Amino acid sequence: MLVCLPLVTVTGLLDFIAYGPQFGQAFPGDVGWLHLPFFDWPTRPAWLFRLTQGLHVGLGIVLVPVILAKLWSVVPKLFAWPPARSLANILERLSLLLLVGGILFEVATGVLNIQYDYVFGFSFYEGHYYGAWVFIGGFVVHVSFKFRTMVKALRSRSLWAELKIAKADTKPEPLDEEGLVAVNPRPATISRRGALGLVAGGALFVAAITAGQTVGGISRWGAFLLPRGRSYGNGPTSFQINRTAVAAGVKVDNTWRLSLTGGERDVQLDLATLRSMSQHTADLPLACVEGWSTVQSWSGVRLRDLARLAGMPAPGSAHVRSVEKNGLFGQATLQSNQVLDPDALLALRVNGVPLSLDHGFPARIIVPALPGVHCTKWVASIDFRRS
């Protein structure tokens, strides 16, 4: 946990930055002195967001059995009576409240959000962000108080030797100052190696039914925890769909035009014109904050070619709008590097065929390392901006 929880935390904070707080599209928007150093999210390596969100969600889920076991091992402390013996004791218990409350809140909101899509009475993003800082505070205090105890405990005996002790030979711990050891324990019902095995087995099991949503291929069939179903039929466009055209209330007919604004000239392009322009193909991931990702072969017009066509070859940003009007994800702002990357596409095709309507026909944004949420589907317009 000492290694993995900071990894989950840091990748979570990185995902916040990947959302583009400089454009007000990371939530919460204004976090006062809790705000993170903003930087332009890079487009390389193309799998960067796939990695950060995959680690954040995947590791977060895999840690659940470990967190539960850790809580179980200290449960007597949670109900200690009298609740406080000294000022130091009150402070320690307060920090534990932040630590335990924080991690349980983060895991619960994270898992619920993945599986049920914003079921809270509050904004998931805001709750999860502030909850993270509560947890970070509790974690830093706890680790700094307990680090020496932990090192001492780990050094006091060999894990290897411990793993060889069967249940019949399992003896209770000697009484300790912390009061964690039961004063009058009953005979062991499980060996320490059994308890460790149970937790490790639980974590591995959860990993096995989670990893497929990122790794893909055949392992996807075993990914029972993935939020978006396992199959969308066969063929080149059968990969997962976050929001269908029906759910988004989107209809597209042949009056569709792409409009480019903000440059020296406003341009309207129909699909035939877009198809006649120079096309570029790239294998790029689509990675959702929910934890799943998939790599597909996308083809279309380079965003930088569209910027040049509109008469703003080096925009500071680009605001993309979808045909979809009322969704939370019907628009996105791209940074300059996300427009100018040679693999940044207004994709018209995937895996050799035109996009299906559910995947954003006639055109969607696909940019290396861009969070899936900003890979806008059913693009209607792009407004290039100086800053």
Ligand X SMILES: Nc1nc2c(c(=O)[nH]1)N[C@H]1C(S)=C(S)[C@@H](COP(=O)(O)O)O[C@H]1N2
Give the footprint of ligand X on this chain (CB under 6 A).
240-243, 248, 286, 288, 322, 324, 327, 329-330, 359, 372-373, 375-378
**Interface with Mo ion includes 263 (CB under 5 A)?**
no
Considering CB distances under 5 to 8 angstroms, the limit depending on partner class, which of ligand X, Mo ion, none binds residue 96? none
Considering CB distances under 5 to 8 angstroms, the limit depending on partner class, which of ligand X, Mo ion, none binds residue 324? ligand X
**Which C-beta is closer to ligand X: that of 47 or that of 329?**
329
Neighbours of 197 (CB within 10 A): 13
Minimal distance, residue 89 CB to Mo ion, in Å: 45
Binding residue for Mo ion (CB under 5 A) from 4, 104, 134, 373?
Answer: 373
AA letter at 341: D
**How many secondary structure helices (H) and strands (E) does the chain include?**
12, 10
SS3 173: coil
**Alpha helices for the chain (secondary structure H):** 4-18, 48-62, 64-78, 87-116, 124-156, 159-163, 192-208, 212-215, 245-248, 271-276, 303-309, 336-340
Minimal distance, residue 365 CB to ligand X, in Å: 8
Minimal distance, residue 35 CB to ligand X, in Å: 24
Cα 81 to Cα 320: distance, rounded to the nearest angstrom: 58
**Interface with Mo ion includes 241 (CB under 5 A)?**
no
Considering CB distances under 5 to 8 angstroms, the limit depending on partner class, which of Mo ion, ligand X, none binds residue 226? none
Minimal distance, residue 376 CB to ligand X, in Å: 5
Considering CB distances under 5 to 8 angstroms, the limit depending on partner class, which of Mo ion, ligand X, none binds residue 146? none
Binding residue for Mo ion (CB under 5 A) from 372, 379, 380, 382?
Answer: 372
Q: Are 296 and 284 in contact (CB under 8 A)?
A: yes
Considering CB distances under 5 to 8 angstroms, the limit depending on partner class, which of Mo ion, ligand X, none binds residue 349? none
Structure-token pair, residue 100:
């335990």
Block residue for tokens 């930055």: 17
